Amino acid sequence: MSFDLVFFGGTGDLTWRKLMPSLFQAWRHGKLPADGRILAVARDDRDDDSYRSWLHERLQAADSAKRPTEDEYRQFAALIHYLRMDLSQPADYLRLKAWLETRRTDNTVIYLATSPHLFPTICGQLGACGLNHEGIRVVLEKPLGHDLASAQQINQAVRAVFSERQALRIDHYLGKPSVQNLMALRFGNVLFEPLWRRESIANIQITLAESLGVGTRGDFYDRTGALRDMIQNHALQLLTMVAMEPPSSADADAIRDEKLKVLRSLKPFDAASVARDVVRGQYRGGTVNGQLAKGYLDEDKVPPDSRTETFVALRCEVQNWRWAGVPFYLRTGKRMADRHADIVVNFRPTPHPIFPGAHNANKLVIKLQPEDGLELHLLAAKGSVSSAGAGAMPETLSPVSLDLDFDKAFPTDRVGAYERMLLDALAGRLNLFVRSDEQEQAWRWVEPILDNWAHDSSTVRGYTAGTWGPPAASALVARDGFAWPEEA
């Protein structure tokens, strides 16, 4: 398969930190189609050779196992080209078109790794010069909009140029192998699906925790916050994959139709439920992994009076037959005690216990990062013999776990999230990309929270860096008689 892959924002952080390293790994693994060209587009005055040298320097910062050797980079760099463009100039888009038309390819993918406010301009110019024919797909990086109105504006501008099947809205969390195995777990096996409902499940908890602070992104982050940055997209997408009904097929729209039904079934927020069921926090100075960490207000480019949240925990419900009454807890934050992301499915206790002692109920842990895998927590008897004679009490059960490490189970052919998404974009596989109606419905659901916070700045709770967030987040779950995993 021949392809051209164009990166708008070719010198930006996303391109050199995530996209180019992922493409290199795809090339190294032999998964990148052989007949391809990669074009970086930016305003810098460079040529192919100077861009290749610039990128080579940055790839040296990768983990040693992922760093290219000199010979590998020489071969990979032969695919890479550079084009200087001013995104506001129609003549520059004609130069891009001329470059693309120097050969005929099976697929052309244009990845917009730029600020979302540039999406309407770029898409409009691409359409004006004819770079929107059926052989072209455009990938839109998050965040898509700042609220529902801006998301709708962007989608309207994109739809004026590209069809829905040509516009790929990326959420890299959906490319994680463990998320793919969530679909396989539910719909490729008969074991769990009969239990995947309110009669067997007590609650579901989704945690996306980071130990790092905002770093050099203080200006961007202060205009975004944790709700927009993580909950509206990543956490809600994970929730839909956990809660969706079995799709009629593996077709992209069949899957996305079911995810949209979940978003539409989420109980809407009002002022009272925001106050009761949403906790927002902001980290203060503390210690993370034995190192002193400054507070959010002391970070570079963060206003000293900022009320932007770096932590969100919330309780929500999916109002349908399968999930009625089952609480879903979502939690994300920066400068937390550890970096990990997981989905914990807590099952109900046995209805009639016959073994002595207090026992935790079964749970399934779907680990997303830093490792991917599944843990099934069960109870088992050790098999010891009681000396008390006939009529003795049954043996006390002990907790055990079945642990599946995907890296060990599948030591070859494993790909990272961005690598998977880029390969799917090139192949035209849409299953892992977000449809516009999904995205807008997610904004519609979080907007009452944003509106409430805009008029009430008093609810930002401080939490010490290196902890699991404000105590109110623990109280939110404890109110229902549950606890977060680290507190259970």
**Active site (catalytic) residues:** 234
Pairing mode, strands 340-347 and 201-209: antiparallel
Cβ-count burial of 199 within 10 angstroms (0-12 exposed, 13-18 middle, 19+ buried)?
exposed
91 contacts: CB under 8 Å, gap ≥ 6: none
CB 461 within 8 Å of CB 140: no
User: Rounded to an integer, what distance in angstroms lies between the CA atom of residue 41 and that of residue 126?
Assistant: 14
Q: Which residues pair with 293 in a beta bridge?
A: 286
The HSE-up count of residue 458 (CA atoms within 13 Å, CB side) is 2
**Helix, strand, coil % in the chain, rounded to nearest 5:** 40, 20, 40
Output phi, psi for 41, to 5 deg.
-115, 130
User: Rounded to an integer, what distance in angstroms lies between the CA atom of residue 167 and that of residue 101?
Assistant: 21
- Alpha helices for 266-339 (secondary structure H): 271-277
List the Cα angle 189/193/199 in 5-degree steps: 160
Instruction: Give the residue among 468, 415, 443, 385 at the shortest CA–CA distance from 210.
Output: 468
**Residue 420, helix vs strand vs coil:** helix
Instruction: Give the residue among 4, 81, 8, 5 at the shortest CA–CA distance from 43.
Output: 8
User: Rounded to an integer, what distance in angstroms lies between the CA atom of residue 74 and that of residue 7?
Assistant: 20
User: Rounded to an integer, what distance in angstroms lies between the CA atom of residue 273 and that of residue 267?
Assistant: 10
